[in-house]
Structure 1
């Protein structure tokens, strides 16, 4: 079968879906190619199922922090119910609903493995081996995302380790779980499985959440230890083996050995570009795709785009969807000969990927951040002032939970008098981060922020306290 569309998208995760949707809404035709489940990593093996695993324990902790509610919370987590709720959010790993949405949006779905064959041509190999050819009039978009990186640790691959996929879709809770890597995935899954009853050992080469402000990782490490987990900083795994009885043995630098029933590897991501035909157009298979501000691939012939994880700008679903909206819109603009707004904060540019990226880590406590850390601001050469405040001292926080522990930091560019970074660590701070995102993305002057009065008594009063500490 040979079919022509205006745009062909390889990858039907949230990014690919959003690109195709914007293209169709712009009056062009679009096809999307998917070799697994429509909805992608986020729907089945990442954002949705992992947050479902974490939420029940978070709610129970919240209840236990309040007199009256504490007395009503008389039992432990129902593990089967937690896993069942996770299954519901993962749609039991069936994509019928997502496929129905594609149909309703007017997006053609081609199931199979998509590979670029030549300029604007994609070959799709179905499960039956039949190859169909899709031709794009205007653009091909690679939105194949990323996969878990499994490092070259002696014996690790042979030991059948878990990656983020196996952890998110686990049908049972291991008695002992070792986690190699203490970034976002490692910290979240250590939090989740410790709450579900695993004896967790978290192995961090450096600290916990090394990309965040140091205080955030320290609070998470403290909470994990209080939950019964072993947090080992400065620990490097040098060898892994699985015995005949299923026991996993992890050897650390220095010779110490740790035993577990499962080992989760969470040390980073790798681009899903090994087998999408990059070699046929002069690009290197397995590489991250370098793009300009409109997500058009550098040295990609002018017709090839890459959105989401695959371009390595920011490996977050919401940022990938943000890129997707810009990508779809700019493809339509170029196809129709309309002006391209690719300047800073232009409609067709992904400016926020550089300066205003929000992220929430759903650990205990939650860590929410946007923009630059203090260290990153220094590295960027900015003249900054860092303002810290104890979140637990805010009236709204003390009402929110007895013994509320948390901290807030804002990083101020002293030359422009705007906030360039904000980090909040504490129970339920996720819902506070969008206010900070608006302040950073909008480059709102501090003098104007004084007039954004937080409601009392809420945790949002932290904004007033940070400004007071900074001074007028």
Structure 2
């Protein structure tokens, strides 16, 4: 059986959904192939459930940060209600709503495992083993996402290790949890389960958390985790793990000679592309690995303009919001090329994915929250920019002091002195994740500081920190 569409999209996560929708809006036809749940990892086992787990603890802390409200908050979190609230957001993996949305957008859904079977052809193997072939007139868009990468720890694959999937969907709070890793997933899940009463130990191979961020961000997260009762062991790696068949207790041996006992182990050390069974070899590409793309998300290692890759699999900016952004650029490029109009009409060039070079916003919902966009001071210097960095304590702003007693937060701007524009910003503290978009607009818009000084923040809001940062710069 063979069906033909203008575009075949393999992967129904955020990038795949948006790409298919935008392609149909352009007047072309598209179909989505998905083997698991429409909506992807983010909707059911990552961003959405993790934030649902994190929010109750943050809300409780926010109430307790204000005198007068603090006295009214005397109980601990209710784990059963927290987990039930999370399940309301995820539907426990039921993708009916997402599938219905695709249908309403005019995008057919083919359930099954899709893999390339030559140029512009995708074979889909259904759950019952039947094979269906889809042919693309114009393009194939690959959006398979990524999967957790396990560290080389002896026995880890035999203990029922948690990855982000189990950590965000577990039905009970582990009494003791060991987390291997020091990145975003490790820090957020240590925060979430620590808030719910788990005794968490974080094993961090490096000497800091969140090593790709400004150093202050990792320091503030470490402080917050410690205050929550999480034990952080820097410079320590797990060597081997084993689970007792009778007690179900897991023992973790580390390279400094310690032996830790816990109920679950979470491995959060990174991700790898889900390309091993994608049929890349049928079109002359390596059978596995990351897919390199240009700013229209066209795969660069292949001749022609028919194969695209959006989202985490292209390794440009592995974040849900950036996958959606890339999908819009990709769909615009496909529609423009299909119309045979020249590039100078401003279509795909106007929509090429440029922001994921210079202005990728990141939000981490630890306590304190941290957020960043653009370059760190170190990255800017390594890029050869002539920069100046300015900092300000957010707690010194009147709006922050009113928001929370003893508000603790930090703001840093990285300025390109040659052009007089902001190229990086890092924020920590309550509301940091909501404040970062202002910096994103300034960076993407390349707003001159001389102009930015006229964007007057309302008083008394936390956003007034922008005024203080510009004053610190000398404006």
TM-score by length of 1: 0.98
Matches within 5 A, 1:314-393: 314-340=317-343, 346-393=349-396
**C-alpha distance in 1 between matches for 2:434 and 2:410:** 15
Contact preservation (8 Å) 1:295, 1:307: yes
Partner of 1:425: 428
For residue 113 of structure 1, what is the aligned residue in structure 2? 113
Aligned: 1:396 with 2:399: yes
Counterparts in 2 of 1:111 and 1:407: CA distance versus 1, 3 Å: same
* Aligned match for 2:276, one of 274, 277, 285: 274
Hey, what does 2:450 align to over in structure 1? 447
Displacement of 1:70 in angstroms is: 1.2
Distance 1:33 1:322 in 2: 20
**Which residue number corresponds to residue 239 of structure 1?**
240
Shift, 1:68, TM fit = 1.8
Q: Which moved more, 1:457-466 or 1:208-217?
A: 208-217
What is the rounded CA distance, in whole Å, between the counterparts of 1:330 and 1:294 in structure 2? Answer: 6
Which residue of the partner structure matches residue 127 of structure 1? 127
RMSD of Structure 2 on Structure 1 (CA)? 1.4
Structure 2 residue aligned with 1:222: 223
- d(CA) in 2 for partners of 1:39 and 1:112? 15
Unpaired stretches in structure 2, ≥5 consecutive residues: none
* Alpha-carbon offset, residue 469 of structure 1: 0.5
Residues 382 and 413 in structure 1, CA contact (< 8 A), matched pair in contact too? yes
Q: Is the 8 A contact 1:9 1:32 kept in 2?
A: yes
Secondary structure at the residue paired with 1:141? strand
Deviation at 1:347, TM superposition (A): 2.3
Change in CA separation of 1:241 and 1:344 when aligned onto 2, cut-off 3 Å: farther
Contact 1:342 1:349 in 2 (8 A): no
Residue 235 (structure 1) shift: 1.4
Alignment of 1:23-422 (within 5 A): 23-206=23-206, 207-244=208-245, 245-301=247-303, 302-340=305-343, 346-422=349-425
Instruction: Please report how far the alpha carbon of residue 357 of structure 1 lies from its aligned counterpart in structure 2 after TM superposition.
Output: 0.5
**8 A contact 1:220–1:364 mirrored in 2:** yes
Unaligned runs of 5+ in 1: none
C-alpha separation between the residues in 2 aligned to 1:341 and 1:308?
26
Moved more, 12-21 or 298-307: 298-307
Sort the Cα spacing of 1:4 and 1:344 in 2 relative to 1 into closer, same or farther, 3 A: closer
Does residue 1:466 correspond to 2:460, yes or no?
no
Count of equivalent residues: 472
Name the SS of the counterpart of 1:275 in structure 2: coil
TM-score by length of 2: 0.97
Match of 2:2 in 1: 2
Deviation at 1:345, TM superposition (A): 10
1:118 match: secondary structure: coil
How big is each residue's C-alpha offset from its partner over 1:376-412, in whole Å with a ceiling of 9 and x where there is no partner?
1111111111101111111111000001111000001
1:130 shift after superposition: 0.4
Instruction: Tell which deviates more after alignment, 250-259 or 200-209.
Output: 250-259
Per-residue CA distance 1:294-333 (angstroms, 9 max, x = gap): 1000123321000000000011000010000000111011
CA contact (8 A) 2:236 2:256 kept: no
- Preserved contact between residue 370 and residue 436 of structure 1 (Cα < 8 Å): yes
- Please give the secondary structure, in 2, of the residue aligned with 1:424: strand
Q: Is the 8 A contact 1:224 1:364 kept in 2?
A: yes
Give every structure 1 segment of 4 or more consecutive aligned residues whose post-TM-superposition deviation is greater than 4 Å: 341-345
Tell which deviates more after alignment, 446-455 or 248-257.
248-257
Partner of 1:80, secondary structure, is helix
Whole-Å separation in 2 of the counterparts to 1:227 and 1:165: 23
Measured in 2, the distance between the counterparts of 1:394 and 1:348 equals 38
Asked if the contact 1:294/1:342 (under 8 Å) is kept, the reply is no
Question: Is 1:341–1:349's contact at 8 Å kept on the other side of the alignment?
Answer: no
The DSSP-based 3-state class of the residue aligned with 1:74 is coil
Tell me, yes or no, if the aligned pair for 1:343 and 1:349 is still in contact at 8 Å: no
In the aligned structure 2, how far is the partner of 1:157 from the partner of 1:372? Answer: 37
CA distance in 1, matches of 2:169, 2:302: 36
